[in-house]
Structure 1
Amino acid sequence: MSHGFSGAGEGPQTPDGCSVELYRRLPYMGELEAIEPVLIEHPAVLELGCGTGRLCARMVALGLRVTGVDESTEMLAHLPAGVEAVCSKIEALALGRRWPAVLLASHLVNHPEPAVREVFAAAAWRHLTPGGCFFVKRHDTRWLQTVQAGFIGAAHGVAYHAEQIERRGAEVSMRLRYELDGSRWWHSFTTTAMSEAEVESLLRAQGFGACRWLGDKRLWGVAGGVA
């Protein structure tokens, strides 16, 4: 199974196949609702892989000071006002500063390469204040195991279609089509289903403390940085 990532459609695509114009147009879809009560306990947050800043905008609205990290200058150009932009790959990030909260959303923890998952977690660890919180969101394992090619659903004006799906063990490769306001974009990627225990093991290996799970589907993990 290939671990290739690619994208197509209007506007530029990032190295992992995400279309900048799509994410610029996508609305906030409530992705942080499950963690907001805990997140707002921290005055500042570092988001790893922030894209165009859809989640950053929500965190700013909650009164947080936000720093967004992304390797795409095209993505960062659309960050909302008030967000500090840092152009860097997550694995190479070395800012010499720490934050009371670090966020890894967008299912980045499900990267198919174990070594990449490890360096993502390590980057969060070295930028987290002792005693702070690392917020990480994983894919819905059941959804990865059962989703079939065809129309997936629609939300907030966006329609989602799976054009092809291939599975091998815990790995799932798929090509998704997004439709919004008459435009179409495609994203091909491979992801790995990860249980709560597997995410917790990954985080413990990097030095994090206990992890608790939030939300009805328990997709958001919150791990403590050891004080």
Structure 2
Amino acid sequence: MEESSSPIRWPVVGALSLVLLAGSAAAHPLTAPSAPDDDSVTVRQPHRRPVFQLDIRNSIINHQLVTVPGLKLGIEWRGRLRTGLGVYLLSNGIPSRQPIPSELPAATTSELRLRYVAGYGEYVVLGNPRWEIASQLQIGVGKTYARYALPDGSLVRSPKRIIWLVEPSLTAQMRVYRWLALGTGVGWRQPVFINRFTQRELNGPVFYGRVKLSLGDVYKVMRGRQRLFTQQGLRRADW
């Protein structure tokens, strides 16, 4: 009896084992779907990617709205930390309240000029593939000078002075496409290691808008590996 029952028992046990293994594989698949290694959408990503920004900074200096356009090139690390360099140029001179040198005519007017380069670091505090909030710190060094307009129409420049700038800010960004993001921010500009007149004129609130291009995604679009206006990875259903 034992010999005749043995051939029946093992196929049943084997069938049960196959069912259990199939159920286990369905509940715990051997390979779970994941984002590709070259995906640049997720906030946390396993690689670095270059980013380019048009950074338009505005400030109120001597009760006048002043625009300071800049260009930034940097590296984004794992979607959380960004570092790089920016170049800024004061777009227009601003009336200065600094004393006019005594050797110049009394009717002389003056305006302030500023140029500087800055290193920046930015950390994403909160965000998802579509939007984010980040803190940023810029430390810049450049030159500032006053340009004097004499009554006869001639121009005279003061000696250039080295100036250091510290600009902490809080930024917000929304990703429109995989390769394009728009952002804005508010902060404070604080000159250091400069005379008190220049420091008083250039310190103040900063508010800005920016356009950011992900150069890696731009390259993929140019090579035809990615659609220009794709929303893949940016929709909530894709997170």
TM score, norm. by length of structure 1: 0.27
Say which structure is richer in helix: 1
* Structure with higher RCO (Cα < 8 A, 6+ apart): 1
Rg larger in 1 or in 2? 2
Q: By percentage of residues, which structure has more strand? A: 2
TM-score (norm 2): 0.26
